[in-house]
């Protein structure tokens, strides 16, 4: 648990865990959060947990949950109007040619296949996708990036990187040759939601919640040439 009060619950989702239940019937983050609240506060019956945004199953990091319907409505509005700031860390195959900048694309999702691709501007059904990036470190085969999505499209970060020939390490769905596994042998990709900044739904206070990267995070060794040194990592907290 990263943060908790009467209105919000912020957790560090492990890679391999669904954010919300689907046809597989596998346990989800919402299921686990509901059970946690039910046991901790000895609540009978159903416990409300509102999922106001999602992370893909193979992605880890900060997820914000609402504990009341009022909080869910207000937080969902923040995500829709783009006032929530999200910071991700990713390790990509290959080299990013620039140290910093912004990528603008039009994305189209194939709902049947659950795959997103970059399409020409003006394509019917296409959505604008904007992503700011900054290089944190480089190694011979990989680059570590800080990513700030300005829009919130499905699979946005994964697709915009893959479209530039820089798929995320482990992301076989979008062209990576490598594979990554979690400690319990679930597939994962080297994408971590590192920080979320939002306005508290009742107090109006701006909160920034950070999540430590998973143990074994595949960070490259930074090189001096044109790269910024990677920031120090907080210690991993068991059980988060």
Q: Are 155 and 162 in contact (CB under 8 A)?
A: no
Cα–Cα distance, 237 to 235 (Å, whole number): 6
Nearest to 1 by CA among 40, 50, 27: 40
- Under DSSP, is residue 157 helix (H, G, I), strand (E, B) or coil? helix
Structure-token pair, residue 148: 């700030």
The sign of the CA dihedral 205, 51, 160, 96 is positive
Q: Is residue 184 annotated as part of the catalytic site, yes or no?
A: no
For residues 178 and 132, give the distance between their C-alpha atoms in angstroms, rounded to a whole number. 25
Active site residue: 5, 22, 31, 56, which one?
56
Residues with a known catalytic role: 56
């Amino acid at each position: 648990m990263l943060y908790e009060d009467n209105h919000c619950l912020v957790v560090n989702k492990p890679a391999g865990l669904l954010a919300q239940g689907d046809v597989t019937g596998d346990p989800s983050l919402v299921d686990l959060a509901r059970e946690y609240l039910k046991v901790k506060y000895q609540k009978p019956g159903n416990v409300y947990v509102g999922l106001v945004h999602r992370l893909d199953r193979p992605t880890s990091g900060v997820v914000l949950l609402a504990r009341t319907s009022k909080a869910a409505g207000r937080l969902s509005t923040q995500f829709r109007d783009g006032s929530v700031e999200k910071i991700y860390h990713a390790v990509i195959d290959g080299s990013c040619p620039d140290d910093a900048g912004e990528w603008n694309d039009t994305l189209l999702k194939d709902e049947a296949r659950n795959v997103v691709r970059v399409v020409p501007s003006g394509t019917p059904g296409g959505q604008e996708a904007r992503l700011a990036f900054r290089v944190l470190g480089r190694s011979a085969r990989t680059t570590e990036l800080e990513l700030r999505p300005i829009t919130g499209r499905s699979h946005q970060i994964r697709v915009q990187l893959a479209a530039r020939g820089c798929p995320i390490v482990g992301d076989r769905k979008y062209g990576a040759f490598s594979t990554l596994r979690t400690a319990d042998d679930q597939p994962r990709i080297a994408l971590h939601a590192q920080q979320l900044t939002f306005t508290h739904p009742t107090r109006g206070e701006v909160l920034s919640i950070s999540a430590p990267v998973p143990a074994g995070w595949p960070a490259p060794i930074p090189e001096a040439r044109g790269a910024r040194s990677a920031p120090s990592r907080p210690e991993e907290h068991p059980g988060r």
